[in-house]
């Protein structure tokens, strides 16, 4: 999720499906256009460590 508000809406709408799943909030402001190079850079730096940590937990 980009912002806390997105996480809240997702959890409210899909509460039963998410159950005990972890939802990560990346704290990226919702001010970028689709495929904005700056957004892509932020995601490339932010997401891989989260995915690696999640894989190590399994």
Helix (H, G, I), strand (E, B) or coil at 47: helix
Could you tell me the two tokens for 22?
Answer: 């972890």
Q: Residue 24: which domain range?
A: 4-57
Could you tell me the two tokens for 39?
Answer: 């957004």
Per-residue pLDDT of the chain in tens (58 residues, 90 and over written 9)? 578 888 889 989 998 998 888 888 999 998 999 999 999 999 999 999 999 998 998 6
Our count of domains for the chain comes to: 1
User: For position 58, what pLDDT does the model report?
Assistant: 66
In Å, how far from its chain's centre is CA 58?
A: 19
């Amino acid at each position: 999720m980009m912002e806390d508000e997105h996480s809240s809406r997702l959890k409210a709408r899909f509460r039963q499906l998410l159950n005990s799943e972890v939802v990560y909030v990346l704290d990226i402001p919702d001010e970028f256009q689709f495929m904005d190079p700056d957004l892509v850079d932020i995601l490339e730096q932010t997401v891989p460590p989260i995915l690696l940590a999640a894989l190590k937990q399994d």
